[in-house]
Amino acid sequence: MSIFVTKSFLPPLEDYQKLISQIYETAILTNSGPMVRELESKLREYLGVEYFHYLTNGTIALQLALSAMDIDDGEIITTPFSYVATTSSILWQRCKPVFVDIEPNNFTIDTTKIEAAITPKTRAIMAVHVFGYACDVDKIEQVARKYNLRVIYDGAHAFGTKYKGRSLLSYGDVSTCSFHATKLFHTIEGGACIVRDKSVSDKLELQKRFGHNKDDHFMLGINAKQSEFHAAMGLANLPYIDDIIASRRRICELYDSELSGVVGRPKAQENLEYNYAYYPVVFADEQQLLRVFDALAKHDIYPRRYFYPSLNTLPYVDGTPCHISEDIASRIACMPLYPDLAESDVRNICQIIKDTL
């Protein structure tokens, strides 16, 4: 059987069927139905936040975060080390991404380089909690206040991570999350915005449903509403989230014990309760990475290059060189990680890596 980089968690079928039966009884399929409202309430409580919006995906969450704060031009300081959606959301809003290189320990944006990138056209900072590791949120907040900038966190990987006792998603003016099927908590497809300010939250609420409330039209909007069937999957998955994180932790600790001194690993910050969203490893160079990939593929094992290429090198952006990001992107990969990955498979993966190196 093939082993891929991830495998979606599925709750017991009877749990999901029970919720689907309720949808059939109400015949309410979308438009902020009872399942969506219940999931929003439970996630608001789980994360300890006040303003939470469940949306169709994590990319539109980034776009709405910018739009709800009236950021539709100017420059956005961001990271080159992320999935392409971080950059594409900025471009989609007709803004210019200004790339700041990453720091070499956990691959988040290097806060010591942000101020030098600020110009009169800068509107916001969009940073990424890469692999669920926290950005230096304290320093970013300090810089943002000094220059009157908005802060948006792409927290696609950050569900379940806490920093200084708070959900990592509670930091920033808006934090976004992805509930895609590959994430540790998923609703098949889905995303969210967690908003600090009520006025921004109210505007986002309108914009995610075409900009109108019943027959009263207030502003330009889009359709980012989520369906009852997706919400039902979230409600079925949420009771298992602590067990999912615990299982992922055990697998990561086994990887750690087997690969210690063999490959590089990101370093977690102090005061961080990690969610074990991914297991990234850094090889000595790209050639070494490709040899390992070839060896694993011969055993039907398929890790993935997260994140490649460095986004400042995309052909449709005006990207400045970001040497650390470009270097790390060329030689980093995520190993298979999901709750029911067998211990024997982990040991086999690690042995293949060690034999190859």
DSSP 205-245: HHHTBTTEETTEE-S---B-PPPHHHHHHHHHHGGGHHHHH
Q: How much of the chain exceeds pLDDT 90, in percent?
A: 98
Task: Indicate the average pLDDT of the chain.
Answer: 97
Q: Strand, coil or helix: what is 323? A: helix
User: Is the residue at 90 inside a domain?
Assistant: yes
Asked whether residue 308 falls in the same domain as residue 230, the answer is: no
Give mean pLDDT, residues 324-337.
98
pLDDT, position 152: 98
Asked whether residue 194 falls in the same domain as residue 342, the answer is: no
User: Is the residue at 214 inside a domain?
Assistant: yes
| Residue 42: C-alpha distances to residues 46, 158, 249 (Å) | 6, 17, 24
User: Is the residue at 111 inside a domain?
Assistant: yes
Integer Cα distance of 311 and 75 in angstroms: 16
Asked whether residue 252 falls in the same domain as residue 210, the answer is: no
User: Is the residue at 4 inside a domain?
Assistant: no
Give mean pLDDT, residues 214-239.
96
pLDDT tens for 123-181 read 999 999 999 999 999 999 999 999 999 999 999 999 999 999 999 999 999 999 999 99
Integer Cα distance of 326 and 322 in angstroms: 6
Please count the other Cβ atoms lying within 10 Å of the Cβ belonging to residue 13.
9
Asked whether residue 267 falls in the same domain as residue 341, the answer is: yes
Asked whether residue 77 falls in the same domain as residue 224, the answer is: yes
pLDDT, position 177: 98
- Residue 91 predicted with pLDDT over 90: yes
User: Is the residue at 347 inside a domain?
Assistant: yes
User: Is the residue at 276 inside a domain?
Assistant: yes
Asked whether residue 82 falls in the same domain as residue 190, the answer is: yes
pLDDT, position 318: 87
Pair 290, 262: CB distance under 8 Å: no
Asked whether residue 245 falls in the same domain as residue 230, the answer is: no
Choosing from 238, 261, 280, the residue where a domain stops is 238
pLDDT, position 144: 98
User: Is the residue at 7 inside a domain?
Assistant: no
Give mean pLDDT, residues 189-195.
98
Integer Cα distance of 28 and 325 in angstroms: 46
pLDDT, position 273: 98
Closest by CA position to 218, among listed 230, 233, 206, 209: 206
Asked whether residue 71 falls in the same domain as residue 219, the answer is: yes
Integer Cα distance of 334 and 339 in angstroms: 15
Taking the model in full, what pTM does it have?
A: 0.97
Tokens 């900009």, residue located: 211
H or E segment to which residue 300 belongs: none
Using pLDDT thresholds of 50, 70 and 90, give the confidence band for residue 319.
confident
CATH classification at residue 230: 3.40.640.10
Choosing from 238, 258, 281, the residue where a domain stops is 238
Asked whether residue 194 falls in the same domain as residue 295, the answer is: no
CATH classification at residue 314: 3.90.1150.10
Asked whether residue 94 falls in the same domain as residue 208, the answer is: yes
Domain limits at 312? 240-356
Asked whether residue 153 falls in the same domain as residue 292, the answer is: no
Asked whether residue 41 falls in the same domain as residue 121, the answer is: yes
User: Is the residue at 292 inside a domain?
Assistant: yes
H or E segment to which residue 324 belongs: helix 323-331
pLDDT tens for 41-73 read 999 999 999 999 999 999 999 999 999 999 999
Choosing from 238, 254, 278, the residue where a domain stops is 238
| Domains: count for the chain | 2
pLDDT, position 201: 98
Give mean pLDDT, residues 209-236.
96
